[in-house]
Amino acid sequence: MTTAYRALNDGTLPGVLSALPDVRARLGGAPESWTVQEVGDGNLNLVFIIKGPAGAVVAKQALPYVRLVGDSWPLPLDRSYYEHMALSEQARHAPGLVPKIHHFDRGLALIVMEYLSPHIIMRKGLIRGTEYPLFAGHIAEFMAQTLFNTSALALPAAEHKQRIGAFAGNTELCKITEDLVFTDPYRIAKLNRWTTPYLDDIAAEFRRDEPLKIKVQERKLQFLTSAEAMIHGDLHTGSIMLTPQDTRIIDPEFAFVGPMGFDIGAVIGNLLIAYYAQTGHEERIGSRNAYRHWILLQTEKVWRVFTKRFLELWDASRTGDAYMPELFTGPEGAAAFAAEKQRFMRKLLTDSISFAGIKMIRRILGLAHTEDLESIKDPPLRAKCERQALTLARRLILDAERFSGMNEVTHAARAVLGSR
Ligand code: ADP
Ligand code: MG
């Protein structure tokens, strides 16, 4: 039985939730006593916090159009179905790193989930200059578990193909990425915007930069055709809610079976944006130096812990149809397989670095910007930070193969900051 879709509001939501015994018990008291607050600050959906005498939940509902733009840009409600499927899958592999799901209603495109409190969106913490000592380990664990366990390294071919099929219908969300990330920033497009006139020259340069555009199109082709693992698909610092002790990854509505490096690159690219944005947030010149350093250390640590955990998982579960253990026996087999794992990780590093650069550029020259940079009120100062980020991003894309470790990326990031 499916419920007919209708957009909910603070008046109608309590009625829907009170019909769910689990949710009702969690909130406690009578539905009339519940408070409802719409808090969605995202680009796409409605997000409500519902509080009762006993507890609180979050209800996220998809709208049939893009919230940021309005009903002129329709978007399928079933993105909620994919988000729920991805959340369920992530919960299996990385329990404790995603919000708990209390209820899902496909007809209403409604996910009722754990209310994360006192967690805040990581981007806001990065703007304030808050250190999160456990973040790098948590996000690395999340990515290692979800990417390894949904890949053909861990799974038999049939199961892998079944998952590709399960997410294959999420095409319109993928198309948003294909257009806004991989295409629009490199052409004149209505939705593009940047800090004008300060960045007009570099925006025009990027549109004429044939080697850059070729590299980005190679990556777009990879995004379109590679089916390595179930990826979150939008893993920026606005999709992470945390406290110094706890980290949760939210909002996987862009999930599909795609290239692993796209998720890793999203994390790295958004940390690097936060790095360059610090100049716009420091109270006096240099007062965020220690924090800048901390961000780069986390960038390195994310990759270091990810690599370690991914390889541990691979060693522990050689259960997939690729690289079957019986093919690599004896010392020679072991050596060959060990060398291959190194090559695999190096390629994943290259992919991640390139996707990181691509994600940075789209946040500065494309439609959707980040609060890190947007909250810098002085346009020339913001443009200075953005130009540095663009300069590094271009290098990451053009020279992705040349970086042999994340420490070389952070070194390059420092060099761009130092050369201002
Ligand atoms: P969208 O898909 O529209 O971007 P998000 O899933 O990112 O929506 O949620 C929008 C905002 O709602 C988040 O930035 C966060 O502030 C809040 N939010 C989302 N999920 C939760 C949750 N489980 N607990 C607390 N706040 C949440
Ligand atoms: Mg979001």
Confirm whether 4 is domain-assigned: no
Last residue of a domain, one of 67, 98, 114: 114
- Residue 233, ligand 1, Cβ within 6 A: no
Of the CA atoms within 13 Å of residue 407, those in its CB half-sphere come to 1
- Residue 243, ligand 1, Cβ within 6 A: no
The pick from 100, 103, 250 for probing ligand 1's pocket by mutation, whose C-beta has the most ligand atoms within 8 angstroms, reads 250
Confirm whether 5 is domain-assigned: no
Same domain, 177 and 253: yes
Cα distances (angstroms) measured from residue 365 to each of 190, 192, 194, 389, 393: 12, 6, 5, 11, 12
Same domain, 401 and 264: yes
Same domain, 97 and 136: no
- Residue 266, ligand 1, Cβ within 6 A: no
Output the tens digit of pLDDT for each of the chain's 420 residues. 578 999 999 999 999 999 999 999 999 999 999 999 999 876 789 999 999 999 999 999 999 998 878 888 899 999 999 999 999 999 999 999 999 999 999 999 999 999 999 999 999 999 999 999 999 999 999 999 999 999 999 999 999 999 999 999 999 999 999 999 999 999 999 999 999 999 999 999 999 999 999 999 999 999 999 999 999 999 999 999 999 999 999 999 999 999 999 999 999 999 999 999 999 999 999 999 999 999 999 999 999 999 999 999 999 999 999 999 999 999 999 999 999 999 999 999 999 999 999 999 999 999 999 999 999 999 999 999 999 999 999 999 999 999 999 999 999 999 999 875
- Residue 114, ligand 1, Cβ within 6 A: yes
Amino acid (1-letter code) at residue 55: G
Same domain, 109 and 200: no
Last residue of a domain, one of 81, 97, 114: 114
- Residue 116, ligand 1, Cβ within 6 A: yes
CB-CB contact of 8 with 61 (8 Å) = yes
Q: What is the pTM of this model?
A: 0.97
CA of 23 to the centre of ligand 2 (A): 23
Confirm whether 2 is domain-assigned: no
Same domain, 147 and 110: no
- Residue 47, ligand 1, Cβ within 6 A: yes
- Residue 326, ligand 1, Cβ within 6 A: no
CA of 251 to the centre of ligand 2 (A): 5
Last residue of a domain, one of 60, 92, 114: 114
CA of 153 to the centre of ligand 2 (A): 30
206: its two tokens? 């990027």
Nearest to residue 93, comparing CAs of 243, 227, 223, 255?
Answer: 255
Q: Can you give the CATH number for the domain in which 201 is found?
A: 3.90.1200.10
Same domain, 251 and 336: yes
CB-CB contact of 77 with 27 (8 Å) = no
In which residue are the tokens 């790098």 written?
136
Q: Can you give the CATH number for the domain in which 57 is found?
A: 3.30.200.20
State the closest ligand 1 atom to the C-alpha of 114, by its place in the atom list counted from 1.
Answer: 23
- Residue 40, ligand 1, Cβ within 6 A: yes
Same domain, 98 and 214: no
- Residue 142, ligand 1, Cβ within 6 A: no
Same domain, 193 and 259: yes
pLDDT of residue 16: 97
Same domain, 60 and 146: no
CA of 47 to the centre of ligand 1 (A): 6
**Tally of domains in the chain:** 2
The pick from 43, 44, 47, 253 for probing ligand 1's pocket by mutation, whose C-beta has the most ligand atoms within 8 angstroms, reads 47
pLDDT of residue 73: 86
Ligand number, closest to the Cα atom of 59: 1
- Residue 186, ligand 1, Cβ within 6 A: no
Confirm whether 239 is domain-assigned: yes
Confirm whether 322 is domain-assigned: yes
Nearest to residue 166, comparing CAs of 247, 125, 242, 227?
Answer: 227
- Residue 269, ligand 1, Cβ within 6 A: no
CB-CB contact of 404 with 346 (8 Å) = yes
Same domain, 97 and 125: no
Same domain, 36 and 175: no
CA of 38 to the centre of ligand 1 (A): 10
Confirm whether 219 is domain-assigned: yes
> What does 134-145 look like in DSSP terms, one character per residue?
THHHHHHHHHHH
Confirm whether 3 is domain-assigned: no
Same domain, 50 and 129: no
Structural domain containing residue 199: 120-418
pLDDT of residue 72: 87
Confirm whether 308 is domain-assigned: yes
Nearest to residue 178, comparing CAs of 307, 366, 340, 19?
Answer: 366
